[in-house]
Amino acid sequence: MKKIIILIALISTLIFSCDKDYLNEPKPTSSVSSSVIFTSRDGVNSFISGILRASRLELNLDRLDTGGLPSLYFARTVKGNDLVLGVQWYRFDYNNDNRDPTDKRTVFNWAFPYTMINELNILIKGINDSENLSAIDKDETLSQALTLRAFYYFQLAMEFQHTFSYDASLPAPPIYTSPALDGKAMSTLTEMYTLILSDLNDAVEKGADSRLDKSYVNKNVTYGILARVNQVMGNWSAAEIAASKARIGYSLSASNYSNGFNNIDDGEWIWGIPQTVDQTITINTAPHSFTDNSNKIGYGEAFWNEDFVNRFTDTDVRNTFFDLFGFGDNSGSYKARASSKFRLTFDPDIPLMRSPEMLLIEAEAKARQENDNEAATLLFSLQKNRDPKAVASGNSGTALIDEILVERRKELYGEIGVEWFDAKRLRKGIIRTGNHRVKSPGNLLPDDKKFFLKVPQSEIDANDNIEASVNADR
Amino acid sequence: MKTIFNLSLIAMLSMQLLWAQKTITGIITDETGVPLPGATVIELGTTNGVSSDFDGNYTIEIGEEAALEYSFVGYSSQVIRDIDDDLLNVSLNPSNELDEVIVVAYGVQSKESIVGSIAVISDATIQAQQATTITQALQGSIPGVNIITSGGVPGTNPIIRIRGIGSINADSSPLIIVDGAPFNGNLNNIAQEQVESISVLKDASSTSLYGSRGANGVIIITTKSGTKRSKTQLTISSNYGVSNNASALHNLINIDDFTKYAWESSRNSEQYVQGLTPSAAGSKASMNLISELKYNPYGLSQPVNTSGDLLVSPMWDTDWKKAVFSENVTRKEHGVSINGGGEKTSFYFGSNYLKEEGQVKTTFFERIATRLKIDTEVNDFIKAGLNVSYTTSKLNAPSQSGDGIQGAIQWLYSVPNYYPLYQRDGNGGLILNSAGERIFDYGNNLTQLVNGSRSNSANENAVGAIDNYKFVTNLTSTTMNGYFNVNILEHLKFRSDVFYERSSYDNFSYSDNNFGIAANVNGRVTQNRDFDTTLNLTQSLNYKTYFGLNRLNADVIFETLRYQIDELGASGIGFLTNVNVLNGGTRPEGVSGSNTEERLISLISRISYNYDKKYYLEASARRDGSTRFSEESRWGNFYSIGGSWIASEESFIKDIDFINYLKIKASYGELGNNRGIGYFPYLQLFETGFSQGTNPGVLSSSPVDPILTWEKTAMLNYGVEFGIFDGLLDGSVEIYNKESIDLIYDKPLAISTGNDFIKTNVGSLRNYGVEFSLRSTIIDKEDFTLNLGLNFSLDNNEISKLSQKEFINDNKKWEVGRSLYEFYIRESAGVDPNDGYLMWYKDILDTNGEPTGERTMTKVYSEADRYYVGASSLPDIIGGFNTSVTYKNFDLNALFNFSFGSYVYDHSYERLMNTTDITGQRHADIANRWTKPGDVTDVPLLLNSQNYFGATSSRFLFKNDYIRLKALSIGYSFKGSFIERLNVSRFRLYLQGDNIFTNQTHKGIDPEQNLSGATNNRSYQLKTFSLGVNVQF
């Protein structure tokens, strides 16, 4: 009898322990489902925040020169004549010799924008498909997504083909406007710029002036990117309008110039990447970590061409150059001039767009449209702000345009690769002068193929629509 | 089915009553006269049988002319015919090896009844070597088991693959079962001294009871127990050893050669790339040398003259190896155990202490493992037992594998002797701190022109990293196995098992406040604490019966598994010197935490049958429901069938004198695999943790395949076991074929889609091979025995189906008919004697752009084509051989293991031979470089500008055969009056050597790297000499 009772007890345990929901109870705790994201403005904002955070993501390529968007810009900076790079992480870019299908620069500059574009396509689809978001929320979030998508396609167009004005029918990287698993064929520059303009114009329509903070996209940012795109395409009147709208509300502030360029709250900054102690890539941060020679934690070893340094007056607030090792003038040493423009702290903010750039785009656009007077006035307003003792040059025509281009380099050095950007879009080339460590082998001739990268081998390997022959003439 | 089962039960019980005519009683004992409770007595040719009671008494009614068979687990059965007395006492002898009891899935079986492929290593094999992690003891002892220990951190758990690689992405390691329950803890927490046996289950019939987790084989570890009615024994063991690297490091160059090579690289660049005249190039190289290298150990501004001669001696010549490694590190292990048992209860208690140091300074693994096991008979039908273990371990392991800048081995292979260990001023003088001590040089003083900052590994110093950082992992693990067993009816048993395990991992790392990676934040403390909890419940019913010569055994088991991971982490920054607890930080830097849970429900059944112990059949089935799949695809069914024939029991073979044992077996089954694919691989989610400032942020996870299904493996096994000439040759041969379908793989996507991969079912994989296990007792005399053993396997891996034509995966390309592990890389075509440039092969194309099959050479790396170069990272043959000798009081055991036919891609060597960066450390082979036109060599010229000589190619691919003397022990056991006076029953002194000899085809690395044949700057396994003593009271 005792045995029978035990048996019954045991068998009932066996049966009752088999609860039907036993296998349904465990749920993921570190992730959320799309229903949480696309049913509220807060949800969509969190996805946008994540995407912005990812703009400084380090792709795992075992190198420190692949730290998100800042590294893409800094690689452009070191390709020019103004900065002289020591033997450090970006040295292959400095040599203008980092563009083969298996090179890290090639892989990163392709993979990083596309990673962002995929997230943005998921975001755009989610917003469009959402039945819970209000029309105004949809517009305001879509405008941010479209601006960012255009921004990253713009980088791909610049990095993987000649400039637009060279031959717009040339192959450009593939275009995806919705989330995809299968690789697409190459597009053309025309198709790519058409998409970029349509995304940006759409974003201008839908955009808002307000935003969560300066790392987010508002109308100013959209206009700023539109100005840059039109500048490359040579649409000068569109560039002028966009640039002027971009800088509304962001006046010049020379007083902050010597503070180390690491604070997004600076009044001139239209757009930037903020870092905090718990959200920082520290020594991976370009340009700070790779140009600050005074700091014992960064990679420093960046110097400045004496030819470039000599363009600055002593009273120019932007003249941050100094003789670190006491070489004196014209020593020929590539280490002769260091700069204190960027100071590396543990969590430096990174500039992406400032109002003086917009001012100079506006000035250039006016000059290109033969409105020299207004152009010169604008230009001098900046020069005077930076150097109280500045004297107007009185230049006009080509000389004025050249002066504006030099002013762009003086204003934006180290930030967004302005020298490379201008040489590429204007099809001019960059010839190295002065005290460079690597001189003529680093030269870029007008329309040099070294202005763009080959298509990565890993893309060719995994994409059925792109053949190895894509690199035949690159 | 259950109804049929019950009906046959009733039928059998009633049949029993028809035959009884004569009553026999007696006592069944073991060979020493101790009663054996529960032994069975069967009337041959009938279903009639009884069991002995607790005192070994039995009573059975049998027919006239009947014969009785007496049997008991672990003892040889005995048949008695012509019974004419009513009183029949029987003593049984312990079974010989062929009858040994083997731990199998959910139970034990006699060796001859096994229809599948199960190999066992016993206590003796385990104790003849030093296995800090218990699974290392399998290496070289069991055919078909590939064991690779990656790196030299003590306590490293080896990579284990049973019968090839059955999975691409999902976990292809075997399931580990410890004392009956799946083990989720760290295997290095089990002391080898406390392990009784390890069973390796290789085929479907032996593993199918583990269903969805059995496809890659199962390893069952069984710990020691006490024995009832035995004298209490106290065993004390102790040993002490000294270790050094088992394999030599790569040959590196000295500082003067480094300096001259750096000059030559620069000169060559100026001359051959920039086009300067040789003399202009030479003088430019001399001029630029120090500014390129940034340090100057020579004092002179141009230490190398324009023709490349070094003019002075260096002020320092850093011996990084000496600074990073300790020599003669120690290993000590002490253990105590007590076991015994009374009438109804048996017990085992063991406690073991181990401390093993590693070669990289400050590396050690320390462990205390304690286990208590009690089994008791509550009454005549209930048995219960409890098995409790408590282990704490501590591992301090500075980074010593991988490319991380702190990695000790990485450092040796990238930073030359040229750079100083301690800070130097611009003239080369030592810089001292205020206390007059030298300061480690982190190469980060950008404000000092010379001897201030290096581009090579800036901001770090591997020796400083070892001294100034801490990397401690504390692990505490508690396990409890409890069971009770009820004999419900005479043939029906119920057993309930509860297994509970809780492991807590406490990772502590500290980075110095003054130097290195966290100096800018005044130091960082990161602490992660994880609690892993496993609860496994098993309820089983076992029915056992016999009728005539038929024996039937059936099990029905219900099992639930719950595994929880509870993670918490925190980091803080801003510490004062010598303060390294989170409380001392000025600012919290981050916190993290998560909870993950996995569950599995299973219903299991097994029926085994044999006729006259000659013909065996076994079938089993399991149904699993796993939370790793969506509700729709969560359940999977798995099954197997197997049979064997003990041919040597047939009369026509019994007559052949030289055959002692012959068994033929076959099995087939289908199993699944759900491990290694994450906990929720079917859900497309947004990952948290991407906040921007104060705004919470998420990012989309990788795309998922909504129709992801189980990986399944069909396995076929044939085998022969034999014993001939009375022990002169025993062994087995097995042939297997494993076909894995619906493999789960992270299929690479075009990067332009913004996705790296999608986890999906891509194809099928076949593993097939043959395994041999042979042993021989050559001499078996009173005071002299000699045994030899050899085992090896030939395993093949082949992709049998793919969802697309091919995948390129790093330096492998997968296509149907190839192995997963065949290298597909650019093929080096040697060095052009005219200009010293390295060349590679490329296809010659016809007019349509298709390869003609002819090849030509190119100096442009990106133009070169990739080829299968006839090399795989999987070995053709792996195995081991062992010998054991006893002569009078001496004993000797030796175990070798070997691996032939695999290739390794040596990334460390690649780096040491890559001269693109002139500040990097070099291999001594650079001496063979091309220096002038006409030189015939395989080392290209040195070039300090972008080149691809060091890019992935067959130049760095090497054959990686090796044979290793894994364990050698020589012991002396004191006998006779000496130990009797001490009141000791056993006293053995021994010398032990582990990994003391390694012969390898590619020098400079440890031959054990990883499955895909890639080195990764890993530290080296240790060779250890030790002296030990073992005393039993």
Whether A178 is covered by a domain: the verdict is yes
Cβ distance A277 to B521 less than 8 Å, yes or no, reads: yes
Residue B525 has pLDDT above 60, yes or no: yes
Bridge partners of residue B798, in order along the sequence:
B766
Q: Hey, what amino acid is at B131?
A: A
Cβ distance B751 to A456 less than 8 Å, yes or no, reads: yes
Whether A393 is covered by a domain: the verdict is yes
Whether A16 is covered by a domain: the verdict is no
Whether A13 is covered by a domain: the verdict is no
User: Are B153 and B1019 within 8 A, CB to CB?
Assistant: yes
Instruction: Give pLDDT, residue B8.
Output: 42
Residue B98 has pLDDT above 60, yes or no: no
User: Are B727 and B96 within 8 A, CB to CB?
Assistant: no
How many residues would you count in chain A? 474
Average pLDDT over residues B137-166: 87
Tell me which of A13, A15, A30 to substitute to probe the interface with B (most B C-beta atoms closer than 10 Å). A30
Tell me which of A94, A282, A297 to substitute to probe the interface with B (most B C-beta atoms closer than 10 Å). A297
Read out DSSP for A346-358?
Answer: SS--EEEEEHHHH
Chain A residues near residue B458 by CB distance under 8 angstroms: 88, 299
Give B420's pLDDT tier (boundaries 50, 70, 90): very high
- Return residues 359-418 of A near B (CB < 8 Å): none
Q: Which of A14, A54, A174 has the CB atom closest to B699's CB atom?
A: A54
Residue of B nearest to A211 (CA): B695
Chain A residues near residue B627 by CB distance under 8 angstroms: 23, 26
Domain harbouring A69, CATH code:
1.25.40.390
Instruction: Give pLDDT, residue A425.
Output: 97
Q: Poorest-confidence range of B644-658, B993-1007, B1014-1028?
A: B644-658
Average pLDDT over residues B536-549: 88
Spell out the per-residue pLDDT of chain A, length 474, in tens.
565 666 666 555 555 555 667 888 888 877 888 888 999 999 999 999 999 999 987 766 567 888 899 999 999 999 999 999 988 889 889 999 889 998 899 999 999 999 999 999 999 999 999 999 999 999 999 999 999 999 999 999 999 999 999 999 999 999 999 999 999 999 999 999 999 999 999 999 999 999 999 999 999 999 999 999 999 999 999 999 999 999 999 999 888 788 899 999 999 999 999 998 888 888 889 999 999 988 667 788 899 999 999 999 999 999 999 999 899 998 888 999 999 999 988 889 999 999 999 999 999 999 999 999 999 999 999 999 999 999 999 999 999 999 999 999 999 999 999 999 999 999 999 999 999 988 888 999 999 999 999 999 989 988 999 998 899 888
Whether A122 is covered by a domain: the verdict is yes
Cβ contacts below 8 Å, chain A against chain B, sum to 257
Whether A378 is covered by a domain: the verdict is yes
β strands within B490-614, DSSP E: 492-511, 524-547, 550-573, 587-611
Q: Which of A34, A335, A461 has the CB atom closest to B808's CB atom?
A: A461
Chain B residues near residue A325 by CB distance under 8 angstroms: 449
First-residue to last-residue Cα distance in chain A: 89
Q: Poorest-confidence range of B20-24, B54-58, B982-986?
A: B20-24
Structure tokens at B590: 């981050």
Q: What is the pLDDT of residues B319-360, one digit of tens each?
A: 999 999 999 999 999 999 999 888 889 999 999 999 999 999
Residue of A nearest to B566 (CA): A29
The answer, for A323 touching chain B at a CB cutoff of 8 Å, is no
Average pLDDT over residues B732-751: 90
Q: Which of B521, B627, B751 has the CB atom closest to A459's CB atom?
A: B751
Instruction: Give pLDDT, residue B19.
Output: 44
Q: Which fold has domain B2-95?
A: Immunoglobulin-like (2.60.40)
Structure tokens at A4: 């029978």
Tell me which of B293, B635, B674, B751 to substitute to probe the interface with A (most A C-beta atoms closer than 10 Å). B751
The Cα B557–Cα B579 span in angstroms is: 55
Our CA-based measurement puts residue B87 at a distance from the nearest CA of chain A, in whole angstroms, of 32
The answer, for A126 touching chain B at a CB cutoff of 8 Å, is no
Residue of A nearest to B918 (CA): A87
Residue A417, burial from CB neighbour count under 10 angstroms (0-12, 13-18, 19+): buried
> How many independent structural domains does chain A possess?
1
Residue of A nearest to B563 (CA): A26
Whether A199 is covered by a domain: the verdict is yes
- Where does residue B211 fall: left (phi above 0), alpha (psi -120 to 50 degrees), or beta otherwise? left
The Cα A107–Cα A337 span in angstroms is: 33
User: Are B527 and B508 within 8 A, CB to CB?
Assistant: yes
Residue B316, burial from CB neighbour count under 10 angstroms (0-12, 13-18, 19+): middle
Instruction: Give pLDDT, residue A115.
Output: 94
Whether A412 is covered by a domain: the verdict is yes
Residue B893 has pLDDT above 70, yes or no: yes
Tell me which of A12, A33, A49 to substitute to probe the interface with B (most B C-beta atoms closer than 10 Å). A49
Cβ distance B455 to A86 less than 8 Å, yes or no, reads: yes
Cβ distance B754 to A114 less than 8 Å, yes or no, reads: yes
Sign, CA torsion B306/B309/B312/B316: positive
Q: Which of B560, B700, B751 has the CB atom closest to A119's CB atom?
A: B700
Cβ distance B693 to A274 less than 8 Å, yes or no, reads: yes
Cβ distance B686 to A294 less than 8 Å, yes or no, reads: no
The answer, for A41 touching chain B at a CB cutoff of 8 Å, is no
Residue B4 has pLDDT above 50, yes or no: no
Q: In this predicted model, which residue has the larger pLDDT, A360 or B75?
A: A360
Structure tokens at B242: 């000294």
The Cα B411–Cα B401 span in angstroms is: 10
What percent of chain B has a predicted confidence (pLDDT) above 70? 97
Cβ distance A115 to B754 less than 8 Å, yes or no, reads: yes
Chain B residues near residue A174 by CB distance under 8 angstroms: 752
Instruction: Give pLDDT, residue B2.
Output: 40
Our CA-based measurement puts residue A292 at a distance from the nearest CA of chain B, in whole angstroms, of 9
Q: Phi and psi of B952, rounded to 5°? A: -50, 120
Residue of B nearest to A126 (CA): B700
Instruction: Give pLDDT, residue A13.
Output: 58
Tell me which of A296, A303, A347, A349 to substitute to probe the interface with B (most B C-beta atoms closer than 10 Å). A296
Chain B residues near residue A115 by CB distance under 8 angstroms: 754
Residue B100 has pLDDT above 80, yes or no: no
Instruction: Give pLDDT, residue B1.
Output: 37
The Cα A74–Cα B273 span in angstroms is: 26
Residue-number span of the structural domain to which A409 is assigned:
41-471
Average pLDDT over residues B840-865: 91
The answer, for A135 touching chain B at a CB cutoff of 8 Å, is no
Residue B196, burial from CB neighbour count under 10 angstroms (0-12, 13-18, 19+): middle
Average pLDDT value for chain B: 88
Give B188's pLDDT tier (boundaries 50, 70, 90): confident
Our CA-based measurement puts residue A253 at a distance from the nearest CA of chain B, in whole angstroms, of 24
Chain A residues near residue B688 by CB distance under 8 angstroms: 30-32
**Measuring CA to CA, how many Å separate B394 from each of B353, B360, B362, B480?**
12, 16, 12, 21
Structure tokens at B699: 């990012």
Domain(s) of CATH 2.60.40.1120: residues in chain B? 2-95
Our CA-based measurement puts residue A360 at a distance from the nearest CA of chain B, in whole angstroms, of 30
Residue B58 has pLDDT above 60, yes or no: yes
Cβ distance A33 to B685 less than 8 Å, yes or no, reads: yes
- Return residues 246-275 of A near B (CB < 8 Å): 274
Q: Which of B446, B598, B684 has the CB atom closest to A26's CB atom?
A: B598
Q: What is the pLDDT of residues A123-141, one digit of tens each?
A: 999 999 999 999 999 999 9
**Measuring CA to CA, how many Å separate B701 from each of A50, A52, A113, B591, B689?**
12, 16, 17, 21, 12
Cβ distance B698 to A86 less than 8 Å, yes or no, reads: no
